[in-house]
A and B are shown apart, each in its own frame.
Chain A
């Protein structure tokens, strides 16, 4: 089973902060404070998503899905049962239905050839609980589902969005997508990170030096930072927990099913990083022919 790297919080515990309404840099401070609380393991608070049953039904799109999932577009499916000992935050249980054929007029199959539908998250799509706690998603400019900027310094407008997708094979997941405006109102995919799994919540944050943060929950200590590293975007994971990361090497990964070698760190990167889709510069789910076209001099031998 592929472990969901960015969204481990789905199976992690959390502690809900009593105060979560703040602005600007204070938001970050609260997130950090809350993340410290997250480190305390409370097995009694496992999110309900970990308890999802295998009951399924075949929907009109031909994909089987859990019966608890609503047919409407981007509906939250937060569940709460009377006998539940769980106290799940909405961002852990909300599920969204990939429903659109385009993202910023770009057909989803041009974003990823395996995709059939996608939905970019917005505040309007959040479940009622989110609106009951407006501070959590306050329009502070620090957190959001879509940010414009020139994230790679090439003088062209970029737009970062997060959302959910479904493939033609009915696999679902979440994504972080960077599009670049190549001419007015014409956008082109520049970077994609897709994480197979539940089509759930994620959020962007503006980070120092023009970078972006990608979060899977409001109060978690693991997140990913997207930065431009001279020639490519790289995702640097901040896993939290009890082992501090020691690397400075890019942590990038190809997840669009095409084994894109250019999503892996360059061969000149310090260290040879093992990740879900890369071994150093090699996208290890690529075919050997593709790998050899990039790295033409393997030493063939027998073992």
Chain B
């Protein structure tokens, strides 16, 4: 875990929040944020789809090119159709998957937030992959 506190700015828009971070202990207003985290309701993904609330619905909407990995902050999923976006998953207690295959993730796992890195911007629409 990070030993140094990282300052974040949180902007609220309706029932959604947008968090900006420069991965530093202070904010430099002359620089762009390096990382963004979007959470809440009504998040519209590249291609126009609304971010599903749970993994099962996400898989139905975007069945191809999914991958799941385990990171510092938990389990995250990516879709090759939406490069640049990471979907952080929140699993119910006691439901840690046996593997990190997309099939192994419980359908009711909640998609808590979407992460973006400035170094890897998303697309406006879905990508064929």
Residues in A lying within 8 Å of B, measured CB to CB:
1-6, 8, 11-12, 41, 222, 237, 239, 241, 243-247, 249, 251, 253, 259, 267, 270-277, 279-282, 284-289, 291-292, 295, 298-303
Choose from A3, A249, A282 the contact partner of B123 (Cβ within 8 Å). A3
Nearest residue, chain B, Cβ from A247 = B48
CB-CB < 8 A to B31: which residues of A? 287-288
Choose from A251, A281, A284, A288 the contact partner of B29 (Cβ within 8 Å). A288
Task: Say whether chain A's binding surface is mostly helix, strand, loop, or mixed.
Answer: loop
A285 lies within 8 A of B10 (CB): no
B44 lies within 8 A of A237 (CB): no
Q: How far is the CB of A173 from chain B (nearest CB, A)?
A: 14
A8 lies within 8 A of B128 (CB): yes
A280 lies within 8 A of B13 (CB): yes
- Docked CA distance A276–B126 (Å): 11
B48 lies within 8 A of A237 (CB): yes
CB-CB < 8 A to A245: which residues of B? 47-49
Given A277-B121, A279-B116, answer yes or no on A241-B20 (Cβ-Cβ < 8 Å): no
Nearest first, the 6 closest Cβ-Cβ pairs linking A and B are: A245-B48, A289-B29, A5-B124, A3-B123, A239-B125, A298-B9
Q: How far is the CB of B25 from chain A (nearest CB, A)?
A: 8
Given A303-B6, A303-B8, answer yes or no on A8-B127 (Cβ-Cβ < 8 Å): yes
B106 on the A face (CB < 8 A): no
Given contacts A276-B123, A287-B30, A288-B33, list 12 more A-B pairs with CB under 8 A. A5-B123, A8-B127, A241-B126, A245-B48, A272-B42, A274-B114, A277-B121, A282-B11, A286-B32, A298-B9, A300-B7, A303-B21
- Docked CA distance A8–B27 (Å): 36
Choose from B22, B122, B125 the contact partner of A288 (Cβ within 8 Å). B22
CB-CB < 8 A to A275: which residues of B? 46, 122-124
A247 lies within 8 A of B11 (CB): no
Choose from B6, B18, B46, B61 the contact partner of A282 (Cβ within 8 Å). B18
Nearest residue, chain B, Cβ from A301 = B8
CB-CB < 8 A to B94: which residues of A? none
Q: List 7 A-B contacts (CB under 8 A).
A: A241-B126, A271-B43, A284-B118, A285-B118, A285-B121, A288-B20, A300-B9
Q: How far is the CB of A70 from chain B (nearest CB, A)?
A: 30
CB-CB < 8 A to B33: which residues of A? 284, 288
B5 lies within 8 A of A243 (CB): no
Contact with A along B26-59 (1 / 0, CB 8 A): 0111111100101010111111111000000000
Q: How far is the CB of B50 from chain A (nearest CB, A)?
A: 6
- Docked CA distance A8–B125 (Å): 9
Given A282-B18, A284-B33, answer yes or no on A246-B50 (Cβ-Cβ < 8 Å): yes
